[in-house]
């Protein structure tokens, strides 16, 4: 009896050793460095602090990413140059952009609270903002990802079920155009549901995604009432000749496959004091961006002067993207083109 038990113990130990060996091998195969970095539990507060302080792990990650990106970019540029010739336009462009690549990890500024507003009366549905956003934020050209969706909604009923985002001509007099991107909600359901805390809200109100942590479960896409999040269903591709070299590690660095991304209010610009690309590019000046805490900022003026509303207030997420009906319509309404409103 005694001998048998000892025998089975020995057997058990043997099996355990083999199992441990196999799991060790498989862990090493997944890259041990990465494993060590990620094998620590984190709190969202830590992540926010990390993003805020200088010399943080985030900054280190940004530098590593920058080096890698440069390498990749130069390799791509080499390819272009050898196939199209050293003094071709594309080659020069690619070289220039590679040299300019900079990945920042700028933290939020104290006391700033960003917000954006859009004049529904002005917007003509030209979709230039969506296009500028693609270029500015290095969005995948092969996946049809666009962070901004422009909805065409019947003027008399602002109901999203009747929205059409695949219209071909605009503006139409009986329609309003409602661009929708991430609303940077005050109570974002998307960050709440993330099982691995890969996404959170920064103190300045920008909701960010850490692409290195996201596991691609797509729960946040399911939770967002504004359809703001996009998933990289395949490896995203951005031609180096169109690469925006001004990058932020939590913003527009080129994404990996199978991670979620979304509008960050151009974190790489706004944290340095600029405005988002969509605001800059809008031909009719429909967009307003600024610091909600600053009494002299345009966003405050707009809200106080016109009054603003948000989409789907019933979702209870308290968006910080406002809509308002400004003073003028562009283009002017032509008489006789209004829809019958039933009286």
Partner 1 sequence: MTADGSFLDTIKFIVREALLNGGRRYYLALIGLLIVALYGMYLWIFVQHAPIFLGKEEGGLILTDLSDSVPWGIYIAFFVFWVGVAAAGIVFGIAAYVFGDKEFKKVAVLGEVQAVAAIITVLLLITVDIGRPFRAMILMPQLPNLRSMLDWDFIVLTGYLTLNLIGMLVTVHYYRQDKPLPKKFIVPFITIAAPFAIGIHTVTAFISQALTARPIWNSPLLAPRYVATAFASGPAILLLALYLAERYMKGFKVDFSVYKKTLYVIVGSLVVGLYFTLSEVHEIFWYTTEPMKKAQAQVLFLGYHLPYLAKMMWLWIGLGIAAVILGILPRVHNSKKGIILVSVITIVAVVAEKTMTIIIPAFVPGTLGEVHPYYPTALEIGITAGVHAIGILIYLLLARPALKAVMTHYFKGSGAHH
The answer to whether 224 contacts ligand SF4 (rule: CB under 6 A) is yes
- Output the smallest distance, CB 289 to ligand SF4, in A: 16
Task: Please identify which residue in 79, 96, 235, 328 interacts with partner 1, judged by CB under 8 A.
Answer: 235
Which helix H or strand E contains 260, and what residues bound it? Answer: strand 260-261
Distance CA 146, CA 182 (A): 11
| Minimum distance, C-beta of residue 211 to ligand SF4, in the bound complex (Å) | 9
16 binds, among partner 1, ligand SF4, none (CB under 5 to 8 A by kind): none
Sign of CA dihedral 112, 45, 272, 181: negative
Nearer Cβ to ligand SF4, position 61 or 184? 184
Measured from the CB atom, the residue of 91 and 311 that comes closer to ligand SF4 is 311
| Cis omega (within 30 of 0) for bond into 217 | no
Asked if 239 interacts with partner 1 (CB under 8 A), we say no
> CA 176, CA 120: separation in Å to the nearest integer?
7
- How many distinct helices (H) and strands (E) make up the chain? 11, 11
Cα atoms found within 13 Å of the Cα of residue 12, Cβ hemisphere only:
6
| 30 is a contact residue toward partner 1 (CB under 8 A) | yes
Residue 220 binds to ligand SF4 (criterion: CB under 6 A): yes
- Closer to ligand SF4 at the Cβ: 130 or 240? 130
**83 CB contacts (<8 Å, ≥6 apart)?**
none
Of the candidate residues 52, 118, 240, 260, the single one contacting ligand SF4 (CB under 6 A): 260
Does position 6 interact with partner 1 (CB under 8 A)? The reply is no
Told to check if 38 binds ligand SF4 by CB under 6 A, we report: no
Q: Is 39 in the site for partner 1 (CB under 8 A)?
A: yes
Exactly one of 51, 209, 240, 279 binds ligand SF4 (CB under 6 A); that residue is 209
Q: What is the DSSP string of 308-330?
A: -B-S-GGG----SEEEE--S--S
**Candidate list 67, 75, 84, 234; residue touching partner 1; CB under 8 A:** 234
Cα-atom radius of gyration of the chain, to the nearest Å? 25
Contact between 69 and ligand SF4 (CB under 6 A)?
no
| CB distance 196 to 213 below 8 Å | yes
Contacts of partner 1 in 167-196 (CB under 8 A): 180, 189, 192-196
CB count within 10 Å of CB 294 equals 13
Nearer to partner 1, 109 or 258 (CB): 258
Query: Among candidates 162, 211, 205, which has minimal Cα distance to 62?
Result: 211
**Site for partner 1 (CB under 8 A): which residue of 16, 89, 111, 162?**
162
Q: Is 228 in the site for ligand SF4 (CB under 6 A)?
A: yes
Closer to partner 1 by CB, 18 or 192: give it: 192
What one-character-per-residue DSSP string does 188-217 give?
-HHHHH-TT--EEE-TTS-EEE-TTT----
Q: Is 133 helix (H, G, I), strand (E, B) or coil?
A: helix
In this structure, what are the phi and psi dihedrals at residue 69, rounded to the nearest 5 degrees? -60, -40
The DSSP bridge partners found for residue 117 are: 288, 322
233 binds, among ligand SF4, partner 1, none (CB under 5 to 8 A by kind): partner 1
Q: Considering the rule CB under 6 A, would residue 183 count as an interface residue with ligand SF4?
A: yes
Strand partners, 207: 201
Q: Per rule CB under 6 A, is residue 190 in the interface with ligand SF4? A: yes
CA distance 296 to 276: 19
Strand partners, 150: 179
Chain residues in the site for partner 1 (CB under 8 A): 1, 4-5, 8-9, 11-12, 30, 34-35, 38-42, 143, 149, 151, 159-165, 180, 189, 192-197, 213-219, 221-227, 229-235, 237, 256-259, 314-317
Chain residues in the site for ligand SF4 (CB under 6 A): 182-185, 188-190, 193-194, 196, 198-199, 207, 209, 214-220, 224, 226, 228-229, 260, 262, 317
């Amino acid at each position: 009896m005694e001998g048998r038990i000892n025998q089975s113990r020995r057997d058990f130990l043997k099996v355990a050793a083999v199992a441990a060996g196999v799991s060790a091998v498989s862990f090493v195969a997944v890259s041990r460095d990465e494993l060590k970095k990620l094998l620590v539990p984190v709190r969202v507060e830590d992540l926010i602090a990390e993003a805020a302080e200088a010399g943080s792990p985030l900054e280190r990650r940004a530098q590593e990413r920058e080096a890698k990106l440069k390498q990749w970019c130069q390799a791509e540029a080499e390819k272009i140059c050898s196939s199209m010739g050293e003094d071709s336009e594309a080659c020069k462009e690619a070289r220039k952009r590679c040299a300019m690549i900079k990945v920042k990890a700028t933290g939020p500024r104290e006391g700033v609270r960003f917000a954006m507003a859009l004049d529904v009366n002005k917007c003509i549905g030209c979709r230039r903002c969506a296009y500028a956003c693609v270029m500015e934020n290095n969005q995948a050209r092969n996946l049809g990802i666009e962070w901004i969706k422009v909805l065409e909604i019947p003027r008399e009923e602002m109901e999203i079920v009747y929205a059409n985002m695949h219209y071909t001509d605009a503006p139409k007099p009986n329609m309003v155009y409602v661009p929708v991107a991430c609303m940077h909600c005050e109570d974002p359901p998307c960050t709440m549901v993330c099982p691995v805390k890969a996404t959170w809200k920064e103190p300045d109100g920008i909701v960010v995604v850490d692409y290195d942590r996201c596991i691609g479960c797509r729960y946040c896409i399911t939770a967002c009432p504004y359809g703001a999040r996009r998933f990289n269903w395949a490896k995203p591709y951005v031609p180096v000749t169109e690469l925006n070299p001004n990058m932020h590690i939590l913003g527009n660095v080129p994404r990996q496959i199978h991670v979620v991304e979304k509008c960050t209010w151009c974190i790489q610009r706004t944290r340095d004091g600029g405005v988002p690309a969509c605001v800059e590019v809008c031909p009719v000046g429909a967009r307003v961006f600024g610091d909600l805490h600053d009494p002299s900022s345009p966003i405050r003026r707009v809200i106080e002067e016109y009054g603003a509303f948000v989409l789907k207030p019933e979702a209870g997420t308290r968006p910080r993207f406002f809509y308002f009906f400004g003073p003028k319509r562009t283009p002017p309404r032509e008489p006789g083109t209004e829809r019958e409103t039933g009286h």
